Amino acid sequence: MALNRQSRHSLKTWPDLFQAVLDGKKTSEYRLNDRDFQEGDILVLCEYDPETERYSGKEIVVGVTYVMHLKDYPTFSSHSGHVVMSTFMKAQNVTQPYDLNPAREVE
């Protein structure tokens, strides 16, 4: 009997991609499969600005409905360690950003 497991993964998401998810335009995630992503997993997409290397504190929670393992398709052999996940929005926290990068005093 297979166990039905559900994992929660927090993932950095660049601002333009975060906004596309928020707007309902982006319903998939292409990621390195370094976390053994599975159908039923929960992804917490955390808006992250690579230019400032800071999180905004905004989050979107999505559920994974399908995982396509690119290693199973010869056409995508150069992306064999990656997956494409179909997702749907479950919740969002974009009204109360918080600082995940508090300033530290230097002695």
Q: List C-alpha distances in Å: 63 to 8, 16, 44, 51.
A: 9, 20, 9, 28
CATH number at residue 57: 2.30.130.30
Q: Is residue 103 part of a domain?
A: no
Count of structural domains within the chain: 1
pLDDT band, very low/low/confident/very high, at 99 (cuts 50, 70, 90): very low
Q: Is residue 107 part of a domain?
A: no
Q: Is residue 85 part of a domain?
A: yes
Q: Is residue 71 part of a domain?
A: yes
pLDDT band, very low/low/confident/very high, at 79 (cuts 50, 70, 90): confident
Q: Is residue 14 part of a domain?
A: yes
Question: Domain containing 12: what range?
Answer: 8-93
| Three-state DSSP state, 21 | helix
- Supply the pTM of this predicted model: 0.79
Q: Is residue 50 part of a domain?
A: yes
Range of 21-25, 94-98, 99-103 with top mean pLDDT: 21-25
